[in-house]
Amino acid sequence: MKNKLEKINVKAVLTIATAALLSTSNPVLANSTKVDTDSSNVSEEGSWDFDSAFLFYSEVDRVSAGEVIINAQKTFANDEILNLKLTVDALTGASANGAVAQPNVQTFTRPSGNGQYTIEAGETPLDDTFHDTRVQLNGQWTQPIAPNYTASGGVHLSKEYDYLSLGINGNIAFDFDRKNSTFSAGFSYFQDTFTPEGGIPNAFSSMLIGDSSSASWDDNFSQTRIDADDTKTTTDILLGFTQVINRRMITQFNYSYSTVDGYLNDPFKVISVVNSETGLTQDNIYESRPDSRVKQSVYAQSLYHFDSSVLDVSYRYMWDDWEITSHTIDSRFRIPLGDSFGKESYLQPHFRFYQQSAAEFYQPFLIDGSALPNYASADYRIGEMTAFTVGLKYGLLVDNGHELSFRLEYYHQAPEDAGFDTPGELKDIELYPTIDAIIAQVTYSF
């Protein structure tokens, strides 16, 4: 039988033993962060989470756009998630119409046929007719359908003055190996209808220049048009594989296959036919692209968590049957600032590099007298180009733990000479002007 002194020691010994057991710092506490419903364990019906953002995009001397997104998400009892998104954007300003700059003043007809506009000598022809507002609605439903299987399906609707897009998507994901690995397969299908003002132009027909108020104008103009509208369908297949590498690192690999069929021309763009010796424009004709395009891409992304900062790097390689290939490297580095610059604030520098090769039928202009190719387009967006983006994002918590963030970025596009001979006067003209744009965004989540 123990003596009284030994018996009292049980409580004391236990007190010391308990203190030793509970003394170590808890890893969970050191990494406590703001929680939102994307990763929260809490599933509560009847509570919506919102993200709202306003973006301003502006190119020097060219297009400006404002875009507003409101995203609402609600989680239901069995890990079912409904996501609704409303996007409204408005575009204004001038875009290149594809014609080549000249040492003299040029006149072009607006896409609607109502009116002309003139371009100064030496300037890249820009059409400033565009002010358009677009409204887009998305709905997405995600739910587990079996242990380790998650399915998702959604709809898309986008409407602007001259364009309607309807789409659906579906996706299944399968988790295995302690949810360290995930395979996913998805598809999407879009049906778009284009009803450009002025109708669909006859490919390779000349842009009619004249006086749009004259009596015969309407007749002559409509002869350059073939239809009021046209359609295109886009079908995408996406295969993905996600793998947790270790406690600090996760990676993802995707393969995607996309086929677009239908009207793929830009009805507002022309290509100049220039004299082979002087380089002076003889005619501007509407561009012509194939009626199908098959794109494939492979994409790899990696996230690495250092002691407190996180690095996100991704690479995408795209190739298609228009002979365009592109490389995209995108990287973000998130640096937490603690509470010194705002509650749970952070800075996130961003750098993106992009390079593409020209489409097989891309030409900055056509030579008068040469045989007309099957397809031709002078749209610099399918020409050879290098671009980069540098930006910085700053975020913090305000009010009751809601997140507010600001993002400012600089986007620089440098179209490149894909090796075309420049005849005559064109040698003295800047045929591949760079485009600089500012991107500014404010986001508030509540």
Partner 1 sequence: MNKNRTVQLIKNKDGYGITFNAMASPCEVIIQSMDKPLVTQLADLITNEVWRIEDKYSRYNKLSVCSAINNNAGRSVSIDQETYLLLNFAEQCYQLSDGLFDISSGVLRKVWSFKGDKNETDNFPTVKKINAMLCRVGWRKIHFDQTQIILAKGMEIDFGGIGKEYAVDRAIQVAKQLTQSPVLVNLGGDLAVTSCRLNNEPWQVAIEHPDSNSDSYDNTSTDMIVSLKTGALATSGDARRYLIKDGKRYSHILNAKTGWPINDAPRSITVVAPQCIQAGILATLGLLQGNHAEEFLTEQEIQYWARR
Partner 2 sequence: MKKHFKVGFFIPLILSVTGCANLGVEPWERDLLAQDEMSLNASPVDTALDDHIYFSKEASSGGKGFGGGGCGCN
Nearer to partner 2, 56 or 217 (CB): 56
DSSP state of 362: B
CB-based burial label for 117 (10 Å; 0-12, 13-18, 19+): middle
11 binds partner 1 (CB under 8 A): yes
180 binds partner 2 (CB under 8 A): yes
Scanning the structure block, which residue is given the tokens 């239809």? 227
Among 86, 381, 388, 416, contact with partner 2 (rule: CB under 8 A): 381
How far is residue 154's CA from residue 143's CA, in Å, rounded to a whole number? 12
Is residue 289 within 8 Å of 262, Cβ to Cβ?
Answer: no
> From the list partner 2, partner 1, none, which binds 7 (C-beta under 5 to 8 Å, kind-based)?
partner 1
One-letter amino acid at 280 equals L
Among 3, 38, 78, 215, contact with partner 1 (rule: CB under 8 A): 78
148 binds partner 1 (CB under 8 A): no
CB of 176 to partner 1, least distance (A): 13
CB of 18 to partner 1, least distance (A): 5
Q: Which residues pair with 12 in a beta bridge?
A: none
Q: Output the six-digit token pair for 143.
A: 């739910």
Site for partner 2 in 74-93 (CB under 8 A): 85, 87, 89, 91
Stretch that binds partner 1, among 12-20, 54-62, 190-198, 378-386 (CB under 8 A): 12-20
How far is residue 36's CA from residue 399's CA, in Å, rounded to a whole number? 15
For residue 334, give the nearest of 306, 354, 361 by alpha carbon: 306
Nearer to partner 1, 76 or 353 (CB): 76
Among 112, 116, 235, 292, contact with partner 2 (rule: CB under 8 A): 235
> From the list partner 1, partner 2, none, which binds 14 (C-beta under 5 to 8 Å, kind-based)?
partner 1
What φ, ψ does residue 295 adopt, rounded to 5°?
-115, 145
CB of 93 to partner 2, least distance (A): 13
Residue 138 Cα to chain centre, angstroms: 16
Q: How many residues bind partner 1 (CB under 8 A)?
A: 34
Is residue 232 within 8 Å of 315, Cβ to Cβ?
Answer: no
Nearer to partner 2, 275 or 328 (CB): 328
CB of 323 to partner 2, least distance (A): 10
Is residue 377 within 8 Å of 98, Cβ to Cβ?
Answer: yes
Per DSSP, the three-state class of 268 is coil
> From the list partner 1, partner 2, none, which binds 413 (C-beta under 5 to 8 Å, kind-based)?
partner 2
400 binds partner 1 (CB under 8 A): yes
Site for partner 2 in 409-428 (CB under 8 A): 411, 413
CA angle 425, 427, 431 (to 5 degrees): 105
Per DSSP, the three-state class of 266 is coil
List CB contacts of 131: < 8 A, sequence separation 6 or more: 90, 91, 92
Among 3, 22, 38, 60, contact with partner 1 (rule: CB under 8 A): 22
167 binds partner 2 (CB under 8 A): yes
CA angle 315, 316, 320 (to 5 degrees): 165
Among 81, 90, 300, 418, contact with partner 2 (rule: CB under 8 A): 300
Helix ranges restricted to H, 156-234: 217-223
Site for partner 1 in 176-195 (CB under 8 A): 178
Nearer to partner 1, 77 or 215 (CB): 77
CB-based burial label for 405 (10 Å; 0-12, 13-18, 19+): middle
> From the list partner 1, partner 2, none, which binds 1 (C-beta under 5 to 8 Å, kind-based)?
none
Among 119, 387, 396, 426, contact with partner 2 (rule: CB under 8 A): 387
Nearer to partner 1, 178 or 421 (CB): 178
CB of 54 to partner 1, least distance (A): 23
Q: Output the six-digit token pair for 251.
A: 């990676």
Binding site for partner 1 (CB under 8 A): 4, 7-8, 10-11, 13-15, 17-18, 20-22, 24, 26, 28-29, 32, 34-35, 39-44, 77-79, 147, 178, 400-402
